[in-house]
C-alpha cells in the first residue's frame, strides 16, 4: 500500500480507546414525497468499534445507503431523521448545526459515494478536485499539494497518477472515476470511512487492490470502515460484523462467520444462497439438480416474506430467482455447441449476427506525440441467439468496443457487419432499422435516464420515437415491461431521483427491451443490482434469449456474472484481445496469465459458506 499519511501527522487519539466509534440507536429516517411520507429507515441500531469494519448488506431500496448518509448528514432535502440518535465519538450528530458537520465531513468521516459519474465535477481536472479536499482540511500546503495529489491517486490504484491528475472525469473510465472518488475519501486519513458500494464500478483485480488498501488502513491506521454493499459474500470477506437490512429494518446482526454459517432470518438465508462465492460456481452438464433448483427458488421466495416497512419496489417472485439453465444457456455437448468468437477452436460455424474484424480505435493524447490505442485489432463474432461476454479491467477497451458496435463512436480502422451488412456504409433507412434492432443497456443508471421524465415516459420513449403501436398499445407495452423487470406499476409516476440505483438500472433494461431488438449490447447491466434482483434480471435476459432468439454482447468486470450468463468469453487487456474461448474453457482452463489473474481476484471465492449454501 502506498503511504498517504502526511509527514508529521497522526490520527487523533480518543480519550477512551475502548468506547465505540459509532453508535446508531433506534434510527428512523422519513422522506416527504408527492405521495406522502415514506419511512425509509425504521428503528435501526448497530455499533461500530474503533479500528474495525462493519458492513451493511441488503437489496436495493433496503435503506442501507440512507442509513449511511444519515450518519454523515447528507440526506436529501426532503429527508430527515425523525427519531433515534447517531453517536460519533460520543457526540450526537443529529443535533449538530451544519457548520459543525462540515468540519467533520472529510476530515473525521470520509465518504466514498456510490455513483462515480455524478460525484465528480465534469469541468474540473481530477487533480484539482483531490487538491481541494487536501487544502480545505489542512492536509497539504500550496507548496506540496501536487505531490500529495499524486500520492493519494497512486494509493487509490491509478497508474501514471501525475498525468491522470491533469485529466477531466470524462477522460476516465467508470472504474477510474470510482478510484478518483476513493482517493478523495481517503485523502484526509479519516477516523471513519463510509464506503457506499465502493467497488461496484471496478474490475475484480482493482477491486481487490482497493479493498486490501481499506483493510490495511483499518489494521495499521486505526481507521474504522462502514461498508455498504449488496453482496453478502463480499461483505463477509471484508468485515468482521454484518448488519442485514430489508425494507428499512435491521433484520439480523452478528459476526460475519456466524451469519454465513448459521443465518437465522429467512432473508439472510436467501442472501447467503445468492452470494457470488456460491453463484459463481458454473453448473456443469447435469449438475443443476432438483435440490439446487429448490434452494435457489427459496432464495427468491424468501425476499417477499420479510419486513413490513413500505418500499418502492416489489419483487416479482412468480418464478424463482435462479440461474438460467435452459435454451441458449443450457450445457452443450461438442456436437451441438455453437460457434465461438474468432480465435476459439471449434469447427462448426453457424450464422453470426455480428462479425468484427481488426477493429481499432486510436485517440490523440493531449500534450503527447504518442497515440492511445483504446482498442487494437479486435476480432470476434457474435453467433445468433448466443451471449458473448467481454471481460477485463477498467480501461481495457471493453466499452470502447461496444460503443463502436453501437455506432456511438467511429472506429479508426477495421470492419463490423450486422446481419451481413457493413455497419460503416449504412444509409439513412438502414441506420434507422439498425437502431431499432440493436439496443444498448448502459453501465450507469444515473446519467442514462432523463431526470425530468417520469419512468413511464422514459420506458415509452423508444416506442414513441419509432411510432410503434397506438397510444393504448404503447401504454400496455410499458406495463408489461415493468412486470418483466420486477418493478411495481406505481413506479411509473415517479422520477429517476425517487428510485434506488438498482431500480433505475431496471428501468434502463425495460427501455432497452421496448422495441424487442435482436441484439442487445449490455454494458455492465447488473453492476448496480443486489444479488437477488441480479439473478432475476439474468434469468429474464436468458428467458428472452430463449423465447425471442436474442443475441447479447455482454460487457462486465464481474466474472461471477459472466460465468452465469455467457456462452463465450473474450478477455481484453490494454485494448487487445488476449484470450477467446467458450465460457467453460476460460473458467476451467484459462490459458493466458492475465485471465488467471482475473479469476484469482473474484471476491468471496475463498469463503467457507457452510451447509446452507453448499
User: Which among 175, 150, 220, 115 has a CA at the least distance from the CA of 391?
Assistant: 175
Cell of 166: 491533469
pLDDT of residue 519: 95
**pLDDT tier at 315 (50, 70, 90 boundaries)?**
very low
Higher pLDDT, 286 or 101: 101
Check: CB of residue 205 under 8 Å from CB of residue 601. Answer: yes
Higher pLDDT, 35 or 82: 82
Q: Evaluate the CA torsion angle 325, 61, 68, 497 in order and state its sign.
A: positive
DSSP lists the bridge partners of residue 296 as none
Round to the nearest angstrom and report the end-to-end CA distance of the chain.
Answer: 35
- pLDDT for 189 beyond 80: yes
**pLDDT tier at 338 (50, 70, 90 boundaries)?**
very low
Kind plus residue range of the DSSP H or E element containing 521: strand 519-523
Check: CB of residue 248 under 8 Å from CB of residue 309. Answer: yes
Question: Residue 12 CB: number of other CB atoms within 10 A?
Answer: 10
What's the CA gap between 268 and 57, in Å, rounded?
A: 9
* Per-chain mean pLDDT for the chain: 80
- pLDDT for 305 beyond 80: no
Cell of 347: 469447427
Q: Please give the order of strands across the beta sheet that includes 241-246.
A: 109-112, 192-196, 224-229, 53-57, 241-246, 249-255
H helices of 388-530, in order, are 398-405, 428-437, 455-465, 471-484, 501-513
Q: Please give the order of strands across the beta sheet that includes 551-556.
A: 438-441, 519-523, 551-556, 387-391, 568-573, 576-582
- pLDDT for 302 beyond 70: no
What's the CA gap between 494 and 506, in Å, rounded?
A: 14
155, 156, 162, 163: CA torsion to nearest 10: 160
Higher pLDDT, 325 or 244: 244
H helices of 46-173, in order, are 64-71, 98-104, 126-136, 145-155, 161-164
What's the CA gap between 251 and 261, in Å, rounded?
A: 16
DSSP state of 454: -
Kind plus residue range of the DSSP H or E element containing 298: helix 290-301
Condensed to tens digits (0 to 9), the pLDDT of residues 2-52 reads 555 554 444 445 556 667 899 999 999 999 988 788 899 999 999 999 888
In total, the chain counts a number of residues equal to 614
Higher pLDDT, 360 or 329: 360
Residues 6+ apart with CB under 8 A from 382: 341, 352, 353, 354, 355, 388, 519, 551, 552, 553
Per-residue pLDDT, averaged over 127-145, amounts to 91
Condensed to tens digits (0 to 9), the pLDDT of residues 517-554 reads 999 999 888 776 667 777 777 877 888 888 888 899 99
pLDDT of residue 333: 31
Condensed to tens digits (0 to 9), the pLDDT of residues 576-600 reads 999 999 998 998 899 999 998 888 7
What's the CA gap between 53 and 230, in Å, rounded?
A: 16
What's the CA gap between 591 and 586, in Å, rounded?
A: 8
pLDDT of residue 395: 79
Residues 6+ apart with CB under 8 A from 470: none
Residue with cell 443475441: 551
- pLDDT for 314 beyond 70: no
**pLDDT tier at 288 (50, 70, 90 boundaries)?**
very low
pLDDT of residue 506: 84
Asked, colleague to colleague, whether 22-273 and 274-288+323-419+518-614 share their fold, the answer is: yes
Q: Which residues of 397-431 are buried (b: 16+ CB within 10 A; e: fewer)?
A: bbbbbbbbbbbebebbebebbbbeeebeebeeeee
| Residue 548 φ then ψ, to 5° | -110, -5
Higher pLDDT, 282 or 534: 534
What's the CA gap between 164 and 171, in Å, rounded?
A: 9
Check: CB of residue 59 under 8 Å from CB of residue 500. Answer: no
- The three-class DSSP label of residue 163 is helix
pLDDT of residue 332: 33
DSSP annotation string for 92-126: EGGGS-HHHHHHHBTTTEEEE-S-TTTSS-TTS-H
DSSP lists the bridge partners of residue 572 as 577
pLDDT of residue 182: 84
Domain boundaries, the chain: 22-273, 274-288+323-419+518-614, 446-516
Question: Residue 227 CB: number of other CB atoms within 10 A?
Answer: 26
Pairing of strands 36-48, 22-33: antiparallel
**pLDDT tier at 221 (50, 70, 90 boundaries)?**
low
pLDDT of residue 183: 86
Kind plus residue range of the DSSP H or E element containing 260: helix 256-261
Check: CB of residue 387 under 8 Å from CB of residue 328. Answer: yes
Name the least confident of 159-173, 247-261, 311-325, 457-471.
311-325
What's the CA gap between 25 and 19, in Å, rounded?
A: 15
What's the CA gap between 608 and 72, in Å, rounded?
A: 34
CATH fold group of domain 22-273: Rossmann fold (3.40.50)
Check: CB of residue 517 under 8 Å from CB of residue 438. Answer: yes
Higher pLDDT, 410 or 198: 410
- The three-class DSSP label of residue 403 is helix
Q: Please give the order of strands across the beta sheet that includes 22-33.
A: 36-48, 22-33, 79-88, 91-92
- pLDDT for 280 beyond 80: no
Pairing of strands 568-573, 576-582: antiparallel
Domain 274-288+323-419+518-614 has CATH 3.40.640.10: no
Amino acid at each position: 500500500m502506498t503511504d498517504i499519511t502526511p509527514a508529521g501527522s497522526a490520527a487523533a487519539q480518543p480519550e477512551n480507546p475502548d468506547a465505540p466509534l459509532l453508535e446508531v440507536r433506534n434510527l428512523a429516517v422519513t422522506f416527504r414525497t408527492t405521495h406522502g411520507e415514506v419511512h425509509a429507515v425504521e428503528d435501526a441500531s448497530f455499533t461500530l468499534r474503533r479500528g474495525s469494519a462493519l458492513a451493511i448488506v441488503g437489496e436495493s431500496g433496503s435503506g442501507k445507503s440512507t442509513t449511511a448518509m444519515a450518519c454523515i448528514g447528507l440526506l436529501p432535502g426532503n429527508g430527515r431523521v425523525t427519531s433515534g440518535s447517531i453517536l460519533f465519538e460520543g457526540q450526537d450528530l443529529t443535533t449538530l448545526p451544519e457548520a459543525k458537520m462540515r468540519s467533520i465531513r472529510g476530515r473525521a468521516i470520509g465518504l466514498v459515494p456510490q455513483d462515480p459519474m455524478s460525484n465528480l465535477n465534469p469541468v474540473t481536472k481530477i487533480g484539482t478536485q483531490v487538491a481541494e479536499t487536501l487544502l480545505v482540511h489542512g492536509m497539504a500546503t500550496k507548496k506540496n499539494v501536487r505531490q500529495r495529489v499524486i500520492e493519494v491517486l497512486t494509493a487509490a490504484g491509478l497508474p501514471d497518477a501525475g498525468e491522470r491528475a491533469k485529466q477531466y472525469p470524462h477522460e476516465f473510465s467508470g472504474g477510474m472515476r470510482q478510484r478518483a472518488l476513493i482517493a478523495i475519501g481517503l485523502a484526509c486519513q479519516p477516523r471513519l470511512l463510509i464506503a457506499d458500494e465502493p467497488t461496484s464500478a471496478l474490475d475484480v483485480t482493482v477491486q481487490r487492490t482497493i479493498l486490501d488498501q481499506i483493510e490495511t488502513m483499518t489494521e495499521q491506521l486505526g481507521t474504522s470502515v462502514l461498508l455498504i454493499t449488496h453482496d453478502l459474500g463480499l461483505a463477509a470477506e471484508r468485515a468482521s460484523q454484518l448488519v442485514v437490512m430489508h425494507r428499512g429494518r435491521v433484520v439480523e446482526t452478528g459476526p460475519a462467520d456466524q451469519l454465513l454459517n448459521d443465518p437465522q432470518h429467512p432473508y439472510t438465508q436467501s442472501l447467503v444462497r445468492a452470494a457470488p462465492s456460491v453463484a459463481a460456481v458454473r453448473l456443469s452438464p447435469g449438475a443443476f439438480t432438483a435440490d439446487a433448483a429448490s434452494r435457489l427458488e427459496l432464495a427468491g421466495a424468501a425476499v417477499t416474506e420479510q419486513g413490513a416497512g413500505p418500499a418502492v419496489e416489489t419483487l416479482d417472485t412468480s418464478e424463482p430467482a435462479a440461474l438460467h439453465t435452459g435454451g441458449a444457456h443450457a450445457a452443450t455437448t461438442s456436437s451441438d455447441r455453437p460457434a465461438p468468437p474468432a480465435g476459439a477452436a471449434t469447427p462448426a460455424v453457424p450464422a453470426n449476427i455480428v462479425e468484427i474484424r481488426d477493429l481499432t480505435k486510436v485517440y490523440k493524447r493531449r500534450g503527447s506525440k504518442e497515440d492511445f490505442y483504446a482498442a487494437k485489432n479486435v476480432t470476434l463474432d457474435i453467433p445468433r441467439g448466443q451471449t458473448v461476454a467481454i471481460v477485463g479491467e477498467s480501461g481495457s477497451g471493453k466499452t470502447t468496443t461496444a460503443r463502436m458496435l453501437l455506432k456511438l463512436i467511429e472506429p479508426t480502422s477495421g470492419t463490423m457487419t450486422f446481419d451481413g451488412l457493413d455497419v460503416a456504409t449504412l444509409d439513412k433507412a438502414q441506420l434507422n432499422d439498425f437502431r431499432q434492432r440493436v439496443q444498448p443497456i448502459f453501465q450507469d443508471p444515473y446519467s442514462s435516464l432523463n431526470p425530468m421524465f417520469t419512468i413511464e415516459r422514459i420506458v415509452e420513449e423508444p416506442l414513441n420515437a419509432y411510432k410503434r403501436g397506438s397510444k393504448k398499445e404503447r401504454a400496455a407495452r410499458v406495463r408489461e415491461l415493468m412486470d418483466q423487470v420486477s418493478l411495481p406499476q406505481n413506479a411509473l409516476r415517479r422520477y429517476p431521483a425517487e428510485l434506488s440505483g438498482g431500480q433505475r438500472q431496471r428501468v434502463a433494461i425495460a427501455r432497452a427491451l421496448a422495441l424487442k431488438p435482436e441484439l442487445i449490447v449490455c454494458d455492465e447491466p447488473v453492476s448496480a443490482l443486489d444479488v437477488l434482483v441480479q439473478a432475476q434480471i439474468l434469468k429474464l435476459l436468458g428467458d428472452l434469449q430463449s423465447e425471442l432468439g436474442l443475441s447479447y454482447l455482454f460487457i462486465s468486470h464481474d466474472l461471477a456474472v459472466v460465468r452465469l450468463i455467457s456462452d463465450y468469453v473474450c478477455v481484453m487487456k490494454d485494448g487487445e484481445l488476449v484470450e477467446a474461448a467458450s465460457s467453460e474453457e476460460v473458467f476451467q482452463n484459462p490459458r493466458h496469465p492475465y485471465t488467471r489473474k482475473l479469476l484469482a481476484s473474484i471476491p468471496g471465492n475463498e469463503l467457507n459458506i457452510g451447509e446452507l449454501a453448499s
